[in-house]
A = this chain, B = another copy of it.
Amino acid sequence: MSQTFTVTELAALTEAKSVVGERQGGLKSIASLSEAGPDDLSFLGNPRYVAEVATSEAGAILVPLDYAGQPRANQVYLRVEKPSYALALLCGVLEARLWPKPAAGIHPSAVIDPTAKVESTASVGPQCVIGPGAVVGAGVVLEAHCTVGVNASIGADSWLKPRVVIGDYCVVGARCRLQAGVVLGSDGFGYEPVGTEIRRIPQIGNVVLEDDVEIGANSTLDRARFSQTVIGRGSKIDNLVQIGHNVRIGRHCIIVAQVGIAGSVVLGDYCVVGGQAGIAGHIKLGNRVQVGAQAGVLEDIPEGQFVNGTPAIPFGLERRLVVLSRRLPDLFKKVDSLASSLDAVRKSNP
């Protein structure tokens, strides 16, 4: 936590309904039940760890309202509605202290084109480069080494970690959060054979992030061929994800690390795509579709379906096929044995 809180302060921050037990001295950090020491705060976030509460040496533990046990000496329980949420409240306070918003202003080492418009409340870090016609909105934070391309724009209160590249003509909405190394607006991967060579198809569209989108470290999002690659409001994309040109992702989707989404794919709202999954070009996923980790989606998936495997099929069927495939050795034996028995029957009944 990098700072010390009294029990009273913690109770207030975590919206505790009551404090059970007594304790001298503050709490200095957060740890899991099994790893916590006397100066640590811990929490019962998952019922399967309930047995660890009684043996935890934590100085303070966030427990649900219905937790029955009693704290040991110099230990307190903070009774809360939902320990995981209570912890997030505390972590939010800590995060705001650990990552205070940088002061507004432009670092002298940044290179800003005179035709760019940077709001006075924005913070532009060391060695950022902002191109002609670019717009950096109110309260935006650009950490070190970010580049904002020609005529690109970044909406109010978005926060870009170090060396994010916002390609020319791309648009970032308000309150977006981009981790280090994101590339927005790389060329779409479009080629066509011409004689014995391969010719690049020009890619003149852009990428649009709607409001409240978050993108993970070193992920790449290609510009559209001539229109827009769009990530819908509130969607969250993890690290090392590839989004092809012309993709349209709906609102509030979750795309886990290392997913690859090929060109012109369309996702509805509230979709969840598991890590390392791939979606082939021009596929459409309805709202609330879930794709399992490492799956390979080769056809359209209707609303609400959960698919798994490569090629992806409904989750239950896929799990059943996996179970049956493990029984293949027995099946082969059984068929051999049937063949022998049948042979015997035929010989004895000529």
Which residues of A approach B to under 8 Å, CB–CB?
A: 1-2, 29-32, 35, 84-85, 87-88, 91-92, 94-95, 98-99, 107, 109, 111, 125-127, 129, 143-145, 147, 161-163, 165, 167-169, 177, 179-181, 183, 186-187, 189, 191-192, 196-198, 200-204, 212, 214, 216-218, 220, 222, 225-227, 234, 236, 238-240, 242, 244, 252, 254, 256-258, 260, 262, 275-276, 278, 280, 293-294, 296, 310-311, 313, 317, 320-322, 324-329, 331-332, 334-335, 338-339, 341-342, 345-346, 348-349
Report the separation of the CA atoms of residues A345 and B181 in the bound assembly, to the nearest whole angstrom. Answer: 71
- Given A180-B186, A242-B240, A349-B349 in contact, is the A322-B326 Cβ separation under 8 Å? no
Question: Which one of B147, B252, B294 contacts A310 once the chains associate, using CB atoms below 8 Å?
Answer: B294
Let me know if A165 and B180 touch, CB within 8 A.
yes
Q: What is the chain B residue whose CB lies nearest that of A328?
A: B324
What residues on B are CB-neighbors of A311 within 8 Å? 322
Number of copies of chain A assembled together: 3
Q: Give Cα A143 to B88, complex, Å.
A: 37
> What's the nearest-Cβ distance from chain B to residue A257, in Å?
4
A298's nearest neighbour on chain B, judged by CB, is: B293
- Contacts A/B (CB < 8 Å), 22 sampled: A88-B192, A92-B202, A109-B111, A126-B129, A129-B145, A145-B145, A161-B186, A177-B200, A179-B187, A183-B218, A189-B216, A197-B212, A198-B234, A222-B239, A240-B240, A240-B260, A242-B257, A257-B262, A258-B260, A260-B275, A313-B326, A342-B345
